[in-house]
Structure 1
Amino acid sequence: MAVFQFNLIFSTLFYSVIFLKISVGVDTLFPNQTIVVGQTLISRSQIFELGFFSGTRYLGIWYKSTPDVIVWVANRENPITNTRKVFLTIAENGTLAITSGGRIIWSAELFEPASNPVLQLLDNGNLNRKSPSEESFIWQSFDYPTDTWLPGMKMAYDTDSGRHKYITSWRNPNDPSPGYFTLRIENLGLPEMVIWRGKTKRFRTGKWNGLYFSGGPPFPNSVFKPDVVIKEEMMISMSEIFDSSVLVRLTLETSGTLRRYTMSARRDKWNPVYANPLDPCDEYGKCGPNGICRIDKPVICECLRGFAPKFQKDWDRQDWSGGCARIKPLNCENGDGFLEVKGVKHPDMLQ
């Protein structure tokens, strides 16, 4: 089946090249047209640009005014090693592929054939493939995010379709291949957003309380105005409405820090707005079980009342991961009860 699909794609692209047209639309690629190294698509309002970058090794989308900020990479797992005859093309049946030296480097999933589809780069940064007579997209880059969450793009936890959409950091600032960190929606108990390093949690927003995440500022606010879909007590998706007058992005950096940026009024630089984790106390499990982190203290970790370090020698070396243990067994009949603790996230009780 895989061999048949490859032959079908290759045959389609071969005949596309025979009828190759040299001109490329400003924001649209028509059937049998190609983009080669040095050519780009530019969105209608000159916000985004698509083309080859990093010495022609990758096809990506970037901000036209700040081309060093790449927001999407098509072939992040398959860099182009042979830079001879590199091009992106869309065939009459909708096949979208990057080829190099006659070999297919990357192709978009083709779930069903389409009649004379076009490829268009929108002002929100979404690259979409659709038939001229249809409003809905046959394929879109927003369904395959890389390290950047853009307004109009959905983070999704869709159990019905079995497809989850999340962002993954680059490997390093010069290598867009999938890195060590991911940002996902998690629906264990109440929903929350979690940054993972492999299978280890690095940061959590705190549980969703019906209005916002308990570990962050209330929203909508002047910085973040999300659209949240809840179904059967599960967060299905979260997105942000695109507004061309205010350009923003949320990037999961190679360090595992999630950082939000806003573009300056002159659209010549990016201003950082906030970051998560905010400080060492914002990192997941910094002080271990039954510990509490206070960033204003010389030693930031301490035990809750009635608890003591589980491994004192580790605590003396500022390794707090082992957490705290009860000093004496709990005895509710002798006055033990609940203690209010303010300014903290609800504990992560589920494994």
Structure 2
Amino acid sequence: MWFPFPLLLVHCSILVVSSGAAESSHTLSVNQTLSDGQTLVSLGQVFELGFFSPGTSRNRYLGMWYRNSTPTYVWVANRNDPIVNSTAELALTQDGSLSLRNGSTSYWSVNTTAGASLQLLDDGNLVLKDGSGNYLWQSYDNITNTLLPGMKLGWNLETGSVRNMTSWASSTDPFSGQFTFSLDPPESPQLVLRKDGQKLYRWGPWNGVRFSGTSELRANPVFDPIFNSSPQEVYYSYQVVEDSVLSRLLLTWDGQIQYLSWRNSNEWTLMVTLQRDECDTYRKCGPFGSCYSGDMICKCLEGFVPTSPQSWNSIDWTDGCTRKWELNCGNGDGFNRDSENLASTSTPPEGVAFPQRRPILVFYPGLLGLGS
């Protein structure tokens, strides 16, 4: 009667070794797998990586979420290729291949070099590292709908890679949606929100303190904005003032850009919404129109009249304005002298000097037939 008992102990110990490593660790090593129901947890218990189904969906996704808050998914590997059952696994092979697979079907993969290991960090970065600790691949370069502190929205000019945010298709469907949020172009960087490839809003360019056109992304008690422009990279990022505060910049499925913070309220608090000013809307007033905050949002530049007065009376300014008369310098068309230096309206940050105030010429390309 003593014989079955030791066999039972041996059997249980095998189960613990085969599954416990992935469940309790922040690392997936060579020849290990992560199955549905198992997770990786960052060392500080901040982020968790595993399989999930959003809302009432039966589809399964490999993703990352904040561990100690309500389910808040910040990154999805197979967003456009859902898994239809719970038998898939994430596997790291000897040759450095990381793949999300179900039998012979592959849903997502990354190929690196032999001997790599996968680690989930406390900043929400999922990284493949070589034996020297160098990053071979990182989720920070593959943004979905969320920008975490330290993530870079913009361009890597050495590799040509572009890091943009793309919304979910709906609140419960991670599939790539209609909206993208990007920093472009690298020559004169502006933040741009697009819907189906068409510009909806833009903010910028960077004036040394914030992106012009909005006061929402300036330094504040919660986060500090970061803008970098170098021969290697052009990007926008941000860092939190208090490391204990969870923060995220979210592009919602319906195109809202929101900055949210998790403090002691046990819920996400909306701190900033970028689309607060109607003048942020791209081409709101059309060609040769100027946007103002107030009852009369759009006005024509001096020397221009509404292209379609009927549309303007219907609060549709997208047709813009046309010239009152043909270009003729005798009618006052040309250059205007302006004694205000636009840069003088902002206080320069420490270590940055704006040019001294001096008379400048303001040139309106449209007056010479160059506008659009």
Fold conserved between structures, TM > 0.5:
yes
Distance 1:185 1:144, change over 3 A: same
Equivalence map 1:1-351=2 (5 Å): 21-23=18-20, 24=22, 25-54=24-53, 55=58, 57-81=60-84, 83-108=85-110, 110=111, 112-115=112-115, 117-131=116-130, 133-187=131-185, 190-217=188-215, 219-231=218-230, 236-241=234-239, 244-266=243-265, 268-297=266-295, 299-329=296-326, 331-333=328-330, 335=332, 338=336
Deviations 1:84-106 (A, max 9, x none): 52111212222111112442221
Distance 1:314 1:189, change over 3 A: farther
- The Cα shift of 1:285 comes to 1.2
Distance 1:39 1:67, change over 3 A: farther
- The Cα shift of 1:350 comes to 8.8
- SS in structure 1 opposite 2:18? coil
- The Cα shift of 1:128 comes to 0.9
Distance 1:41 1:163, change over 3 A: same
Distance 1:235 1:97, change over 3 A: closer
What is the distance in 1 between the residues matched to 2:38 and 2:186?
46
Deviations 1:64-119 (A, max 9, x none): 123432110000111112x15211121222211111244222112x1x4221x321
- SS in structure 2 opposite 1:21? helix
What is the distance in 2 between the residues matched to 1:188 and 1:347?
24
AA at the equivalent of 2:234: I
User: Does structure 2 retain, via aligned residues, the 8 Å contact 1:123–1:244?
Assistant: no
Deviations 1:303-333 (A, max 9, x none): 2343221011222222211011222345555
- The Cα shift of 1:239 comes to 2.3
Q: Aligned residue for 2:4?
A: none
User: Does structure 2 retain, via aligned residues, the 8 Å contact 1:121–1:128?
Assistant: yes
Distance 1:138 1:188, change over 3 A: closer
- The Cα shift of 1:347 comes to 9.6
Distance 1:56 1:33, change over 3 A: farther
What is the distance in 1 between the residues matched to 2:320 and 2:103?
57
RMSD value, Cα: 2.9
What is the distance in 2 between the residues matched to 1:188 and 1:130?
29
- SS in structure 2 opposite 1:287? coil
- The Cα shift of 1:164 comes to 0.9
What is the distance in 1 between the residues matched to 2:219 and 2:171?
32
What is the distance in 1 between the residues matched to 2:76 and 2:186?
31
What is the distance in 2 between the residues matched to 1:46 and 1:62?
11
Deviations 1:133-187 (A, max 9, x none): 3222111111111011111211231232111111111111111111111111112
User: Does structure 2 retain, via aligned residues, the 8 Å contact 1:191–1:235?
Assistant: no
- SS in structure 2 opposite 1:151? coil
Distance 1:274 1:350, change over 3 A: farther
User: Does structure 1 retain, via aligned residues, the 8 Å contact 2:27–2:120?
Assistant: yes
- SS in structure 2 opposite 1:314? helix
Q: Aligned residue for 1:11?
A: none
Distance 1:235 1:47, change over 3 A: same
Q: Which moved more, 1:97-106 or 1:218-227?
A: 218-227
Q: Which runs of 5+ in 2 are unaligned?
A: 1-16, 346-362
What is the distance in 1 between the residues matched to 2:246 and 2:86?
36
AA at the equivalent of 1:320: W
- SS in structure 2 opposite 1:281? helix
- SS in structure 1 opposite 2:49? strand
Distance 1:347 1:284, change over 3 A: farther
- The Cα shift of 1:189 comes to 5.1
Distance 1:21 1:95, change over 3 A: farther
Q: Aligned residue for 2:10?
A: none
Q: Percent identity?
A: 38
Distance 1:85 1:102, change over 3 A: farther
Q: Which runs of 5+ in 1 are unaligned?
A: 1-19
- SS in structure 1 opposite 2:272? strand
